[in-house]
Structure 1
Amino acid sequence: MTLSVSTGQAVDLRVQPVDEVLDRVERSLQVRLQPDTVVHKRRSVGARTDRDTWVRVERRLLEKIPDQGWNGTECAARLEGIAQPQWHGCVVWRDVEEPVMWRADETELLPGAPVGTAVLSEAPELPDEWWEALSASLDALAAQDTRRVATPDTVTITQALVTESIHGVFSGDFDTTVERWVPAHADLNWANLTAPAFSLFDWEDWGNAPLGLDSASLWASSLAVPALADRVRHERRSDFESRDGKLMTLFACSKILGPYAHPEDPRLKPAQRMAEQVIKELQAG
């Protein structure tokens, strides 16, 4: 039960047929997926079930699965003090024809709708209580312990990656050594947050990362809306004021301004301005 694509080739599940995969998930988890609720993303598919739960199915290349595995949602179930959907169970299998693994996780339904897409173009209406819940969850996450290492964009984050990403885009004589590594969600953007009830979901890539990664990631996804980006920096100012937070701001900016930068991305100019400011602060010590 596979997709008809070349071996090891990256696919887009928004356009590739997945009916056989979903059939297998239904049999394994003993649920019925509701067809009118199916959501297709590039490397995952989700749907509501007949027992009022949600199932997320992901396809991942073996080479993109680190030594720690890819059971992030399952491992996140033990975290305390974080608003997230309760995890119920999963099914995992290796594709018989391709070097890929499939995984389906069943969780409780989200308490609200996703705030928006990964990058917002309009400011959402979020009450103060929502921002308080966001900070409480991020602070609770950073205070916990794990042996997992974060894999933002399915790439394991290391000191070498941080240094290469930053110095590959920005010139200047400043140290990129990270001082504190703490648990992070590692995919914090507006598509993985709910409102009006706050919840943080899609925990596939969480693990230890430089302090401030999550805050910088959310800020970067807000840059097209200046007031929203400013609110993120205000609410998470302890992260952004730290040296590691400044490095993560540059790390986030490097993804916007790097070799894959889109000339019409509205985040380009604000990211460039912030990067120049942060580099000056780092050089000043």
Structure 2
Amino acid sequence: MDQQRMRRAFTQSARELGTTIAGPEVWGWHGRTLSSRVHHPDRGSCRLRLLSAPQDKAFGKIWEGNRQAAVLFDGRVRKPLLYDTTESVGDGCAYQAELHQYVAEPVCSSSPVLSDELDLPAQWWESLRADVESVSSTATDRVAARQEWVNRTVPSFLDMPGPRITDWATAHGDLHPANLTIRTPYVLDWEGFGMAPAGYDAAMLLAYSLYATGFADRVRDTFPVLETEPGRVAQIIVMTELLQSASRGDHPEFVPALHALAAEMRSA
């Protein structure tokens, strides 16, 4: 069983990093990751996250993302610090364990799709905007979106030509309510960061918030790039990505909202 395999690797990794498991299991997307609160003798409460991949695919953007993000962003933006990592192999799989700073505050939503309104203070939005701007101005050779994919995929899902990306910026790459904590906010899970259309993070947050109209309005107010042509391009690309993901079974419940937003983009 994959879960038993992951649990064995998690227990081994916790031991190698000198920690003891101190919290419940938290499974990630499609069981690809397993996390828990752990106790470290020097650092106290930490979060241990285990990533698994077939041994011949344990490389590339996702595998290296959190380590590279730590080099570029730890101490510069509000994200959990990465303390240590370890790698192992077994059962034909590779494992990477990451020991992170433990963040006690809850996330804004248990699901990426925000269904309930959140009344967050102005300071929360100012902090998020500052961090997104700091990320966008950071140089990287990692890529989160490609023009070739846009040309091929947008016509299939939105019945319109793929727009040309003219403005690029570094993006977190998965900015949604389940990756934002409700007080600070901390921005979580950096494995997918890289170059993307300018406004990509704002477009992603907006798309996942369409059913919470008040929150979506605050996203638009906080990120005026969404009202520009580059922002329109970013929204088209994000909607295509999410529609493609929904076609594979991920969050099909907000497909109607995505199509409604796409109609606005076509008429803009």
TM-score bracket for this pair, using the shorter chain length = 0.7 to 0.9
Residues 45-99 of structure 1 deviation map (CA, whole Å, 9 limit, x = unaligned): 1111112111111113457655457221121123353111111010122x3332x
Q: Find runs of 4+ consecutive structure 1 residues off by over 6 angstroms.
A: none
Q: Contact 1:187–1:205 at 8 Å: present in 2 too? A: yes
Relative to structure 1, the CA distance from residue 256 to residue 23 in structure 2 (aligned partners, 3 Å threshold; closer, same or farther) is closer
Aligned CA-pair RMSD: 2.4
Matched, 1:135 2:129: yes
* TM-superposed deviation, 1:206: 1.0
- SS where residue 200 of structure 1 aligns? coil
Query: Could you state the TM-score of these two structures normalised by the residue count of structure 1?
Result: 0.81
| Residue 92 of structure 1 pairs with residue 87 of structure 2 | yes
Relative distance call for 1:61 and 1:251 in structure 2 (3 A) is farther
Q: Residue 187 of structure 1 contacts residue 214 of structure 1 at CA under 8 Å; is this kept in 2?
A: yes
Q: 1:127 to 1:210 in 2, by over 3 A?
A: same
Residue 9 of structure 1 is matched in structure 2 by none
SS class of match (2:72): coil
* Count of matched residue positions in the alignment of Structure 1 and Structure 2: 257
Q: 1:271 to 1:261 in 2, by over 3 A?
A: farther
Amino acid at match of 2:153: S
Partner residue in 2 for 1:40: 27
Partner of 2:46: 53
Q: Is the 8 A contact 1:188 1:217 kept in 2?
A: yes
Over 3 Å counting, the alpha-carbon distance change for 1:196 and 1:280 in structure 2 is same
Secondary structure of 1:148's aligned partner: coil
Query: Which residue of 138, 143, 147 maps to 1:144?
Result: 138
Aligned counterparts of 1:101 and 1:278: Cα–Cα separation in 2: 42
Q: Does 132-141 or 59-68 show the bigger shift?
A: 59-68
Matched, 1:185 2:144: no
Counterpart for residue 267 of structure 1: 254
**Structure 1 unaligned regions, length at least 5:** 6-12, 151-156
Local SS of the residue matching 2:196: strand
Preserved contact between residue 61 and residue 191 of structure 2 (Cα < 8 Å)? no
Letter of the structure 2 residue corresponding to residue 49 of structure 1: V
Q: Among all aligned residue pairs of Structure 1 and Structure 2, give the percentage whose two residues are the same amino acid.
A: 24
Normalising by structure 2, we get a TM-score of 0.86
2:237 paired residue number? 251
Aligned residue in 2 for 1:276: 263
